[in-house]
């Protein structure tokens, strides 16, 4: 009685962007191909953002070109914060993007330098200009904001409604700074699905407070269509040393594969790529399996 | 509709024993008192084991004497691997111990140098000699063994039955090396509770594979009477660098306090003690909150 589950790796975007030192484009491509080879069906391979704001992503077009030419049918997508980003993604050859805006007005201003209305205008311009582009919307700070704290569920429903009216059908509820907990996950997913039964809702969970695997598990039980994680748990915030990024893809896949879910992903292959990533990238890795050595441990006593 | 939950800190045993450098007895006492002050109702404060095998625990009697004299009514207990350990605990003034044996025959031989029958004989001798001593049994490797792999549920039920027949009423199902996953937690707890509805079952979970918080959450949903964690996530295996020990008490408490459980524990106070422990002990800490700094993080983008 295995349940199919779609695990989406966003490490090449959310993970790589946290690394200060530029990761060579060939390394990025190699790691993305390792994730594909392990059986992951969808990957956020880069973002089209200002190279001044995030220099790590300055090779977005090259990464897209390489992956799309080698894996033409693969579900690769990029994050974009505005119309210009979507334009770059389309020009590079992508068929899908996720636009991001924050439920928190303050966070949206800090993150993408826009008011809510300005972000909504960007979405409309993308939809109008690229009717064939698959577009999903990331709602950052759905589960809380470092500036504003908890965000009301009513405001979430209101914002989703406005974006739906522009024509967007798929949403990702993002726990941007790892503030979600099980009952909050349940509240937001239930409210969103009740208000918009025809829309698709995904979960994007950070492991900052050690609830990444639990919250992702709860999101799946609440009907999340897909869950987003990052290879090796690469990520974190440059202003909070030690704080983790996304949930580790391979840690989640191990749990799901064992617990009656069908991910279609080969854990051992994925772990090999995760360990490789750790060996070549100077970053903050929160995954657990990458640190487990194989010899047995007998002195734990209980 | 808060549900009461008993969180038992085993850090002063399972955490401290993982530290090579001797932790001064006063430091141990100070940390235990910090945990008590935060509202934790029960603590495994030490173990009575061979000082040759685990030199870190050689001050067990001193720790017990200090805590019992300062906090006479407090539920402090120690782990013991045999009759001699129980004798030491009683002589030091403890009213409760947890005896440990492994479901895995190989692990039991490696961990406490005894066959199953020899361990059962030790339990009987403890029960016969100290009828007023509160005794619970830790079943190590319930969820898998580094030598034998998965352990059959039938064997677990059989072993619990034998120990129950000696007179033990409380058991802790231990995920000694972090091999449990949600459906396995459900299977073992359901089977144990169905076979022995009058016995008490607790959960002792390690976070080795990043499922510590999730597995503990699932164990509570399966009716675990209490859950065991270690302050700051101190622990791990000296043979597996980076491998985590028990689930972090403060990380679990944060999640539970937020998610409709009533732990009776003050998270902020507990975190302060966890950060203090990290600052004075040279060990392997897997807790997340101890690494989070307070200033906001705005460049995560989703």
- Which residue in A243, A251, A292 is closest to B292 by CB distance? A243
Residue with tokens 């399972």: B14
Test B301 with A14 for CB contact under 8 angstroms.
Answer: yes
- Tell whether the model's pLDDT for residue A105 goes beyond 90: yes
Cα B96 to Cα B77: distance, rounded to the nearest angstrom: 5
Predicted confidence at residue A238, as pLDDT, reads 58
Name the minimum distance, in Å, from the CA of A291 to any CA of chain B.
Answer: 5
Predicted confidence at residue A294, as pLDDT, reads 61
- Tell whether the model's pLDDT for residue B206 goes beyond 90: yes
Q: pLDDT above 70 covers what percent of chain A? A: 94
Name the minimum distance, in Å, from the CA of B271 to any CA of chain A.
Answer: 12
Confidence of residue A244 (pLDDT cuts 50, 70, 90): confident
- Tell whether the model's pLDDT for residue A161 goes beyond 60: yes
Query: What are the chain A neighbours of B237 within 8 Å (beta carbons)?
Result: 297, 299-300
CB of A144 within 8 Å of a chain B CB? The answer is no
User: Which tens digit of pLDDT belongs to each residue from A250-264?
Assistant: 999 999 999 999 999
User: Which tens digit of pLDDT belongs to each residue from A56-74?
Assistant: 999 999 999 999 999 999 9
Nearest residue on chain B to A103, alpha-carbon basis: B302
Average pLDDT estimate for B231-241: 76
- Which residue in A100, A181, A207 is closest to B301 by CB distance? A100
Predicted confidence at residue B236, as pLDDT, reads 75
Average pLDDT estimate for A213-232: 97
Name the minimum distance, in Å, from the CA of B102 to any CA of chain A.
Answer: 8
Alpha carbon distances (Å) from A189 to A177, A196, B7: 18, 10, 29
Q: Find out whether A224 and A30 touch, Cβ atoms under 8 Å.
A: no
Query: What are the chain A neighbours of B10 within 8 Å (beta carbons)?
Result: 302
User: Which tens digit of pLDDT belongs to each residue from B92-131?
Assistant: 999 999 999 999 999 999 999 999 999 999 999 999 999 9
Test A258 with B183 for CB contact under 8 angstroms.
Answer: yes
3-class SS letters over chain B? CCEECEEEECHHHHHHHHCCCCCCHHHHHHHHHHHHHCCCCEEEEEECCCCCCCHHHCCHHHHHHHHHHHCCCCEEEEEECCHHHHHHHHHHCCCEEEEEEECCHHHHHHHHCCCHHHHHHHHHHHHHHCCCCEEEEEEECCCCECCCECCCHHHHHHHHHHHHHHCCCEEEEECCCCCCCHHHHHHHHHHHHHHCCCCEEEEECECCCCCHHHHHHHHHHCCCCEEEEEHHHECCECCECCCCCECEHHHHHHHHHHCCEECCCCHHHHHHHHHHHHHHCCCCECCCHHHCCCCCCCCCCC
Confidence of residue A301 (pLDDT cuts 50, 70, 90): low
- Tell whether the model's pLDDT for residue A229 goes beyond 80: yes
Name the minimum distance, in Å, from the CA of A70 to any CA of chain B.
Answer: 27
- Tell whether the model's pLDDT for residue A98 goes beyond 70: yes
Interface of B with A in 147-176 (CB under 8 A): 147, 172, 174, 176
Name the minimum distance, in Å, from the CA of B116 to any CA of chain A.
Answer: 15
Test B181 with A258 for CB contact under 8 angstroms.
Answer: yes
Probe site for chain A from B18, B172, B301 (most A CB atoms < 10 A): B301
Residue with tokens 């072993």: B159
CB of A142 within 8 Å of a chain B CB? The answer is no
Predicted confidence at residue A245, as pLDDT, reads 85
Confidence of residue B302 (pLDDT cuts 50, 70, 90): low
pLDDT averaged over chain B?
A: 94
Query: What are the chain B neighbours of A81 within 8 Å (beta carbons)?
Result: 301
Predicted confidence at residue B293, as pLDDT, reads 74
Query: What are the chain A neighbours of B143 within 8 Å (beta carbons)?
Result: none
Predicted confidence at residue A293, as pLDDT, reads 74
User: Which tens digit of pLDDT belongs to each residue from B123-171?
Assistant: 999 999 999 999 999 999 999 998 999 999 999 999 999 999 999 999 9
Predicted confidence at residue B292, as pLDDT, reads 85
Test B138 with A302 for CB contact under 8 angstroms.
Answer: yes
Predicted confidence at residue A152, as pLDDT, reads 96
Predicted confidence at residue B90, as pLDDT, reads 98
Test B214 with A214 for CB contact under 8 angstroms.
Answer: yes
Name the minimum distance, in Å, from the CA of A80 to any CA of chain B.
Answer: 9
- Which residue in B208, B254, B302 is closest to A14 by CB distance? B302
Predicted confidence at residue A239, as pLDDT, reads 54
User: Which tens digit of pLDDT belongs to each residue from B33-83?
Assistant: 999 999 999 999 999 999 999 999 999 999 999 999 999 999 999 999 999
Interface of A with B in 201-230 (CB under 8 A): 204, 206-214, 217
Q: How many CB pairs below 8 Å do chains A and B form together?
A: 206
Tell me the pTM: 0.95
Test A297 with B111 for CB contact under 8 angstroms.
Answer: no
The residues spanned by each domain of chain B are 3-291
Interface of A with B in 36-75 (CB under 8 A): 47, 49, 53-54
Query: What are the chain A neighbours of B291 within 8 Å (beta carbons)?
Result: 240-243
CB of A76 within 8 Å of a chain B CB? The answer is no
Nearest residue on chain B to A235, alpha-carbon basis: B300
CB of A296 within 8 Å of a chain B CB? The answer is yes
Q: Which residues make Cβ contacts (< 8 Å) with residue A114, sequence separation at least 6?
A: A82, A101, A108, A122
Give A259's DSSP letter. T
Predicted confidence at residue B127, as pLDDT, reads 98
Q: Reply yes or no on whether B174 is catalytic.
A: no
CB of B106 within 8 Å of a chain A CB? The answer is no
Query: Could you report the predicted ipTM of this complex, rounded to two decimals?
Result: 0.94
Task: Report the range of poorest mean pLDDT among A24-33, A175-184, B1-10, B195-204.
Answer: B1-10
User: Which tens digit of pLDDT belongs to each residue from A5-52?
Assistant: 999 999 999 999 999 999 999 999 999 999 999 999 999 999 999 999
Predicted confidence at residue A236, as pLDDT, reads 75
Predicted confidence at residue B146, as pLDDT, reads 87
- The residues facing A228 across adjacent strands are A8, A204
- Give the sign of the dihedral formed by CA A137, CA A138, CA A142, CA A147: negative
Confidence of residue B294 (pLDDT cuts 50, 70, 90): low
Predicted confidence at residue B241, as pLDDT, reads 56
Average pLDDT estimate for A195-205: 98
User: Which tens digit of pLDDT belongs to each residue from A118-145?
Assistant: 999 999 999 999 999 999 999 999 999 9
- Which residue in A54, A79, A298 is closest to B111 by CB distance? A298
- Superfamily per CATH, domain A3-291: Aldolase class I (3.20.20.70)
User: Which tens digit of pLDDT belongs to each residue from A143-159?
Assistant: 999 899 999 999 999 99
Cα A302 to Cα B2: distance, rounded to the nearest angstrom: 30
- Tell whether the model's pLDDT for residue B297 goes beyond 70: no
User: Which tens digit of pLDDT belongs to each residue from A264-286?
Assistant: 999 999 999 999 999 999 999 99
Confidence of residue B243 (pLDDT cuts 50, 70, 90): low
Task: Report the range of poorest mean pLDDT among A187-201, B8-22, B48-62, B286-300.
Answer: B286-300
């Amino acid at each position: 009685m295995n349940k199919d589950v779609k695990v989406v790796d966003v490490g090449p975007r959310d993970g790589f962007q946290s690394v200060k030192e530029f990761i060579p484009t060939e390394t990025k491509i190699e790691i993305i191909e390792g994730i594909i080879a392990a059986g992951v069906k969808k990957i956020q391979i880069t973002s089209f953002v200002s190279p001044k704001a995030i220099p790590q992503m300055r090779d977005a077009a090259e990464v897209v070109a390489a992956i799309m030419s080698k894996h033409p049918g693969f579900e690769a997508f990029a994050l974009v914060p505005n119309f210009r980003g979507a334009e770059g993604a389309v020009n590079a050859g992508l068929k899908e993007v996720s636009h991001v805006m924050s439920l928190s007005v303050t966070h949206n201003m800090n993150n993408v330098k826009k008011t809510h209305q300005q972000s909504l205008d960007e979405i409309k311009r993308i939809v109008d200009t690229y009717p064939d582009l698959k577009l999903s919307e990331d709602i950052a700070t759905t589960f809380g904001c470092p500036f504003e704290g908890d965000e009301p569920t009513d405001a979430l429903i209101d914002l989703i409604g406005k974006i739906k009216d522009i024509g967007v059908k798929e949403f990702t509820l993002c726990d941007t700074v790892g503030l979600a907990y099980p009952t909050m996950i349940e509240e937001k997913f239930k409210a969103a699905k009740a208000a918009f039964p025809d829309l698709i809702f995904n979960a994007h969970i950070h492991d900052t407070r050690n609830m990444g695997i639990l919250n992702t598990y709860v999101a799946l039980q609440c009907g999340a269509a897909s869950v987003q994680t990052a290879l090796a748990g690469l990520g974190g915030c440059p202003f909070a040393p030690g704080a983790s990024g996304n949930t580790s893809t391979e840690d989640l896949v191990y749990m799901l594969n064992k617990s009656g879910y069908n991910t279609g992903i080969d854990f051992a292959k994925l772990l090999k790529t995760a360990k490789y990533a750790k060996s070549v990238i100077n970053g903050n890795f929160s995954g657990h399996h990458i640190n487990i050595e194989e010899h047995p441990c007998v002195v734990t006593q209980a």
